[in-house]
């Protein structure tokens, strides 16, 4: 019995040792597995973090791309609008260019002289399809139709004859042509009076320099004496009538660029009102510029 019990106890002890050894092995394996699981979990967590970071970057990139798409849509709209506006501007510019060419052609046909730097000679449709290039006293180059005289004979001023006021057109004529053109004596006198204001060759200029908005003026009384000098043998009574008619003709022929003003005059201690034919500083007279600032002011006249 004793030997059998000891044998069984020894076998049991040996089995216990084997079980304990197996448990130790399992514990060690469990520890390894736990360590591997922890390492794998850490790896998965790091990988997840990297994925989240990458996802965030992708989301930011996607947001930027959406912003870019929105901006691109805006740019495309702006480009489309700009292209449409550009086409409209070009269309208007071409229409304006066509109108300018037509106007320049008509002005040249009427006798105008146009500065070279404002004209495309190859685009104009003019008589003879040829323009003459000239240099005037101002040193600038001009185009004109061949042998077209300057309407103002002023060298630097270039206007079409049709742009001149009727009084300027008549003033440019010689006496014989003026008589054949104008049957009325007051009309001829008004034209000659206008010529006397600018042309020293006339030799009898009754105009006086003005001030305070008046470029030049002429008293009715001085006009009467001037008429009698121009028309020898004219009675004083008839000369007085011609004064009114000549003033009316000057107003009409200047298209009322000239004006009539009344002034209070004093003579021999007595006051009287006299009419004056005036050229205002701001009168729109082709080929002329106001020079009021260059004249000394007058102080002797009293406004009535």
Q: List, for residues 6-32, the tens digit of each pLDDT value.
A: 888 888 888 888 888 888 888 888 888
Domain presence at residue 221: yes
> What was the pLDDT predicted at 185?
93
Q: Is-contact 144 127, C-beta < 8 A? A: no
User: Average of pLDDT values for 105-132?
Assistant: 75
> What was the pLDDT predicted at 155?
44
Any idea how long the chain is?
304
Domain presence at residue 233: yes
Domain presence at residue 304: no
Domain presence at residue 149: no
Average pLDDT value over all residues in the chain = 80
C-alpha distances (whole Å) from 220 to each of 172, 225, 261, 276 are 24, 9, 10, 6
* Between residues 290 and 139, the one the model is more confident about: 139
| 227, pLDDT greater than 90 | yes
Largest CA distance in the chain: 191
Q: How many domains does the chain have?
A: 1
Domain presence at residue 257: yes
State the pLDDT confidence band at 137, using cuts at 50, 70 and 90: low
> What was the pLDDT predicted at 238?
94
State the pLDDT confidence band at 256, using cuts at 50, 70 and 90: very high
Report the percentage of the chain scoring pLDDT > 90. Answer: 20
Q: Select from 275, 292, 274 the least CA-distant residue to 283.
A: 292
Determine how many CB atoms are found less than 10 A away from the CB of residue 158: 24
User: Average of pLDDT values for 27-52?
Assistant: 84
Domain presence at residue 105: no
User: Average of pLDDT values for 282-286?
Assistant: 86
User: Average of pLDDT values for 90-95?
Assistant: 80
**H-helix segments, the chain:** 2-110, 166-172, 175-181, 185-198, 220-230, 236-253
| 146, pLDDT greater than 50 | yes
DSSP, collapsed to helix, strand or coil, labels residue 207 as coil
Place of tokens 């290039």: 133
Domain presence at residue 72: no
Residues whose CB is less than 8 angstroms from the CB of residue 167 and which lie 6 or more positions away in sequence, other chains included = 190, 191, 194, 250, 253, 254
User: Average of pLDDT values for 141-165?
Assistant: 62
Backbone angles phi, psi at 195, to 5 degrees: -65, -40
User: Average of pLDDT values for 28-47?
Assistant: 84
Note down the domain range covering 183.
Answer: 164-294
* Between residues 33 and 206, the one the model is more confident about: 206
Alpha-carbon distance of 138 to 188, in angstroms, equals 32
pTM value?
0.48
Place of tokens 């470029």: 215
| 201, pLDDT greater than 80 | no
Q: Is-contact 191 173, C-beta < 8 A? A: yes
| 160, pLDDT greater than 60 | no
Report the percentage of the chain scoring pLDDT > 70. Answer: 87
Domain presence at residue 208: yes
State the pLDDT confidence band at 40, using cuts at 50, 70 and 90: confident
| 290, pLDDT greater than 60 | no
């Amino acid at each position: 019995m004793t030997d059998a019990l000891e044998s069984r106890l020894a076998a049991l002890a040996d089995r216990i040792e084997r079980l304990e050894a197996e448990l130790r092995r399992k514990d060690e394996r469990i520890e390894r597995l736990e360590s591997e699981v922890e390492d794998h979990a850490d790896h998965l967590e790091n990988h997840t973090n990297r994925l989240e970071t990458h996802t965030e970057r992708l989301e930011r990139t996607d947001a930027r791309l959406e912003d870019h798409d929105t901006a691109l849509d805006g740019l495309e709209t702006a480009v489309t609008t700009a292209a449409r506006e550009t086409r409209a501007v070009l269309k208007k510019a071409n229409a304006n260019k066509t109108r300018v060419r037509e106007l320049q052609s008509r002005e040249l046909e009427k006798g105008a002289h146009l500065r070279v730097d404002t004209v495309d000679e190859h685009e104009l449709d003019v008589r003879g399809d040829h323009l003459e290039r000239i240099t005037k006293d101002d040193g600038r180059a001009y185009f004109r139709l061949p042998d077209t005289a300057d309407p103002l004979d002023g060298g630097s001023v270039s206007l079409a004859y049709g742009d001149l006021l009727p009084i300027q057109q008549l003033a440019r004529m010689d006496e014989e042509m003026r008589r054949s053109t104008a049957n009325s004596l007051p009309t001829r006198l008004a034209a000659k009076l206008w010529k006397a204001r600018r042309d020293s060759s006339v030799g009898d200029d009754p105009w006086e320099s003005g001030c305070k908005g008046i470029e030049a003026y002429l008293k009715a009384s001085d006009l009467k004496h001037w008429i009698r000098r121009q028309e020898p043998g004219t009675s004083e009574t008839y000369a007085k009538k011609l004064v009114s008619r000549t003033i009316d003709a000057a107003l009409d022929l200047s298209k009322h660029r000239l004006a009539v003003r009344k002034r209070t005059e004093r003579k021999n201690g007595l006051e009287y009102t006299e009419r004056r034919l005036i050229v205002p500083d701001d009168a729109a007279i082709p080929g002329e510029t106001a020079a009021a600032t260059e004249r000394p002011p007058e102080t002797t006249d009293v406004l009535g």
